[in-house]
């Protein structure tokens, strides 16, 4: 079996490639990634050693290049992780989100239609459902919750999901979609909350918490996300959406304090800063469908996952220090200057 993994030089895609190489050593994995600021070949150093892996630098929205790759590889499965993924960047510059997240998904599916495919799997997000109120802990997102997006990022992901379902219905393309809550774990780019806090706390730098820190996210250890995607793309029903979450809800302040305690750093590093515009209050996933149909359950609770993640960042300082020393420095200065 040949599997094209798009966006595999990023956080979740990279973890997914290691998951596939470990569990299906007979399969061939082709990583297609344009190496934006979030793509990092260092993440794939271990995979590069395998004869069953190859990397192709390519933009998912580049029709000619994508078609040429499909012509050569004739993939059985395509898993689409490639995306602009950071909400704050989508507030600054929405356009690239539309190009990559929507048009890129369309180009990939057009290639799947032309060359034939067993499954096109779209990696989606719970952010397409919008947010839930903080005072209704009884509410959760199900697959039938209405799409109700808040940011240009989530709007672009919702548009992509709708296009995927349209290609299923109109053209009979064998697709599936997973919508996952916030991930954390190894190789997470340090602009996102958890790696940002770990890396800044290690340097005794101030820790920016938006607003009051009461916003809630439903955290999932990345390896659990990989096992869920793997199950759905191989055994999930065609044309279906599956929500993925582990009922690990924490507000941002709790997350930051858990990390500080794991690192033995003081809470005085916390600095409350101006809130994100349109900031979603709470995400919470109901994962009953994937549990009942496919028997999936998350294996990692939040405290264990955070400990493993903190340890990974301690053990892989060169991976993130190189990022912090590059263009990311200007990004941080620019994004947090007026907060």
Phi, psi dihedrals of residue 181, rounded to the nearest 5°: -80, -175
- Cα(232)–Cα(236) distance, integer angstroms: 4
- Can residue 217 be called a binding residue for ligand TYD (CB under 6 A)? yes
SS3 49: coil
- Can residue 149 be called a binding residue for ligand TYD (CB under 6 A)? no
Question: Which residue in the set 87, 164, 222, 310 belongs to the binding site for ligand TYD (CB under 6 A)?
Answer: 87
Question: Which residue in the set 31, 56, 79, 193 belongs to the binding site for ligand TYD (CB under 6 A)?
Answer: 193
100's contact among ligand NAD, ligand TYD, none, with CB below 5 to 8 A by partner kind, is ligand NAD
Q: Please, where are the H alpha helices in 33-103?
A: 45-48, 63-73, 87-92, 95-97
Query: Measured over all CA atoms, what is the biggest interatomic distance in the chain, rounded to whole angstroms?
Result: 57
- Cα(276)–Cα(154) distance, integer angstroms: 14
# residues near ligand NAD by CB under 6 A: 30
Question: Which residue in the set 6, 178, 182, 183 belongs to the binding site for ligand TYD (CB under 6 A)?
Answer: 182
286 is catalytic: no
- Cα(130)–Cα(145) distance, integer angstroms: 10
C-beta of 164 vs 193, nearer to ligand TYD: 193
Segment 45 to 64, residues that bind ligand TYD, using CB under 6 A: none
Minimal distance, residue 308 CB to ligand TYD, in Å: 18
For residue 201, count other CB atoms closer than 10 A to its CB: 23
- Can residue 7 be called a binding residue for ligand NAD (CB under 6 A)? yes
102, 160 Cβ separation under 8 angstroms: yes
Question: Which residue in the set 18, 55, 70, 81 belongs to the binding site for ligand NAD (CB under 6 A)?
Answer: 81
- The residue annotated as part of the active site, out of 33, 59, 84, 127, is 127
Beta strands in the chain (DSSP E): 2-6, 28-33, 53-57, 77-80, 119-125, 175-180, 183-184, 207-210, 216-218, 220-221, 240-244, 249-251, 270-273
C-beta of 233 vs 256, nearer to ligand TYD: 256
For residue 116, count other CB atoms closer than 10 A to its CB: 11
Q: With CB under 6 A as the contact rule, which of the stretches 2-10, 193-201, 235-243, 279-287 interacts with ligand NAD? A: 2-10
- The residue annotated as part of the active site, out of 18, 129, 131, 153, is 153
C-beta of 201 vs 244, nearer to ligand NAD: 244
The site for ligand TYD (CB under 6 A) is made up of 87, 182, 192-193, 196, 208-210, 215, 217, 252, 276
The site for ligand NAD (CB under 6 A) is made up of 6-7, 9-13, 33-36, 38-39, 59-61, 81-85, 100, 104, 123, 125, 157, 180, 182-183, 189
């Amino acid at each position: 079996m040949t599997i094209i993994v798009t966006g595999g030089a990023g956080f979740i895609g990279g973890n997914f490639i290691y998951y596939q190489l470990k569990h299906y050593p007979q399969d061939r994995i082709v990583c297609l990634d344009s190496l934006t600021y979030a793509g990092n070949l260092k993440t794939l150093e271990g995979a590069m050693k395998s004869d069953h892996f190859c990397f192709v630098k390519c933009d998912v929205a580049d029709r000619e290049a994508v078609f040429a790759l499909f012509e050569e590889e004739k993939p059985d499965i395509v898993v689409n992780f490639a995306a602009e993924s950071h909400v704050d960047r989508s507030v600054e510059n929405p356009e690239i989100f539309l190009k990559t997240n929507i048009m890129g998904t369309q180009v990939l599916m057009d290639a799947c239609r032309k060359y034939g495919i067993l499954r096109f799997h779209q990696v989606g997000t719970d952010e397409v459902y919008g947010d839930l109120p903080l005072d209704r802990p009884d509410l959760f997102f199900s697959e039938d919750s209405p799409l109700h997006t808040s940011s240009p990022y989530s709007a672009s992901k919702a548009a992509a999901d709708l296009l995927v379902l349209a290609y299923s219905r109109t053209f009979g393309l064998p697709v599936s979609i997973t919508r996952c809550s916030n991930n954390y774990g190894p190789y997470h780019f340090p602009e996102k909350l958890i790696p940002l806090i770990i890396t800044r706390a290690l340097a005794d730098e101030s820790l920016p918490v938006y607003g009051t820190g009461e916003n809630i996210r439903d955290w999932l250890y990345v390896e659990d996300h990989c096992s869920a995607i793997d199950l759905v793309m191989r055994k999930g029903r065609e044309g279906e959406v599956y929500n993925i979450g582990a009922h690990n809800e924490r507000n941002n302040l709790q997350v930051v304090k858990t990390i500080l305690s794991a690192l033995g750093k003081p809470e005085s590093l916390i600095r409350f800063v101006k809130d994100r515009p349109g900031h979603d209050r709470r995400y919470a996933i109901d994962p009953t469908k994937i549990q009942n149909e496919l028997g999936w359950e998350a294996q990692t609770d939040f405290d264990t996952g955070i400990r493993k993640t903190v340890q990974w960042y301690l053990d892989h300082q060169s991976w993130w220090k190189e990022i912090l020393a590059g263009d990311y420095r200007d990004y941080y200065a620019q994004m947090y200057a007026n907060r």
